[in-house]
């Protein structure tokens, strides 16, 4: 039976998803010590949430990991850390593989050595590539990674099962579909088209709006609060996951052109787009079947795309810079 943990470790703690996760976790479990780790590859010190024990470092640094696990003895590990940018993985497949594969294995290794109850590992829908069936479930769509990043994330999933079978470490792998929401700055190359275009509207000196391809590609956009809830539900789950993979999305999708229309509607401003060719490694469409996650641990997306977009617009409107 689940009991409130004394300590948890959050890797990639200064990132967009992890930051939202930490702030909600603090409200739900105010007595739990939250230990954060980040090397600011895709973030800054200002992005570290207040009220946590923070270490600057990489998941590739085994000595740092050993120090953290030995001192804080986390009961659960939320592994958000990654070099999660498809074009960067195309440009630097070796360096990104070192972090995304070897770094993840190190997190699994230290977790198993220190008796962690469960690792909730952040994976990606990019593993599926161009799906054969929509909505896309975990069973009927064999992996077809179109980029080194997708292949790197795919490589970690068998290790999740192996660490369960050989070392007794319980791991759940959550494949996120196009996460967006407050806290995602559009200047980052890792942002969704939503935050990139809102950045161009509200902070035009920072960013110009770019459309890759014809805009008819469709995405299952998942609001960040639903991803956070999925992580917390995995922690609370009384059964074993054994390295199982789950799709975390909304079971709805919108074309990029539809996104443009809704952004213009909710902001009352027009978007002038710099049209460019499609990017290498991007799937044409994504649409999640979340039935397995619902069945295993009660995942239910609560925030519609339109509502999530309104909340994201409101966050951009109140930003100072």
Q: Where in the sequence numbering do the catalytic residues fall?
A: 149
| CA distances in angstroms from 15 to 22, 137, 175, 204, 205, listed in the order given | 10, 27, 17, 23, 23
- Full 3-state SS string of 126-171: HHCCCCCCCCECCCCCCCCCCCHHHHHHHHHHHHHHHHHHHHCCCE
Give, in order, the Cα–Cα distances in Å from 314 to each of 183, 195, 307, 310: 11, 12, 11, 6
* Sign (positive or negative) of CA dihedral 245, 111, 301, 85: negative
DSSP strand pairing (254-255 vs 218-219) = antiparallel
CA dihedral 44, 6, 114, 95 (to 10 degrees): -20
Residue 267: its H or E element: helix 256-267
Cβ–Cβ under 8 Å, residues 235 and 2: yes
Distance between CA atoms of 43 and 63, rounded to whole angstroms?
22
Backbone angles phi, psi at 123, to 5 degrees: -115, -160
Q: How many helices (H) and strands (E) does the chain have?
A: 11, 13
CA 202 – CA 193 distance, rounded (Å): 14
Per the listing, tokens 């999530």 go with 308
Q: Is 48 helix (H, G, I), strand (E, B) or coil?
A: coil
Nearest to 285 by CA among 133, 162, 121, 64: 133
């Amino acid at each position: 039976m689940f009991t409130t943990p004394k300590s948890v470790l959050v890797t990639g703690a200064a990132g967009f998803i992890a930051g939202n996760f930490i702030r909600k976790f603090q409200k739900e479990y105010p007595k739990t010590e939250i230990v954060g780790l980040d090397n600011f590859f895709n973030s800054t010190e200002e992005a570290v949430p207040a009220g946590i024990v923070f270490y600057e470092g990489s998941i590739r640094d085994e000595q740092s990991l050993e120090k953290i696990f030995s001192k804080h003895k986390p009961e659960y590990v939320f592994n958000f850390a990654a070099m999660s940018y498809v074009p960067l993985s195309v440009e630097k497949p070796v360096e990104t593989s070192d972090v995304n594969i070897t770094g993840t294995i190190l997190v699994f290794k230290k977790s198993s050595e220190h008796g962690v109850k469960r690792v909730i590992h952040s994976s990606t829908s990019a593993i599926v590539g161009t799906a054969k069936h929509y909505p896309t479930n975990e069973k009927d769509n064999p992996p077809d990674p179109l980029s080194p990043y997708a292949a790197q994330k795919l490589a970690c999933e068998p290790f999740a099962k192996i660490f369960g079978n050989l070392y007794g470490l319980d791991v759940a792998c959550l494949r996120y579909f196009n996460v967006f929401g407050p806290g995602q700055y559009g200047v980052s190359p890792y942002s969704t088209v939503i935050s990139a275009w809102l950045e161009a509207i509200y902070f035009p000196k920072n960013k110009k709006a770019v459309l890759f391809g014809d805009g008819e590609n469709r995405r299952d956009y998942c609001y960040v609060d639903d991803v956070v809830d999925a992580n917390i539900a995995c922690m609370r789950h009384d059964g074993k996951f054994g390295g199982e993979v789950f799709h975390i999305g909304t079971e709805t999708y919108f074309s990029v052109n539809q996104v443009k229309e809704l952004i213009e509607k909710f902001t009352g401003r027009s978007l002038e787009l710099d049209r460019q060719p499609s990017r290498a490694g991007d799937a044409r469409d994504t649409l999640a079947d979340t039935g397995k996650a619902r069945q295993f641990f009660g995942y239910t997306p609560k925030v519609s795309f339109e509502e999530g977009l309104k909340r994201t617009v409101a966050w951009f409107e109140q930003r100072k810079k």
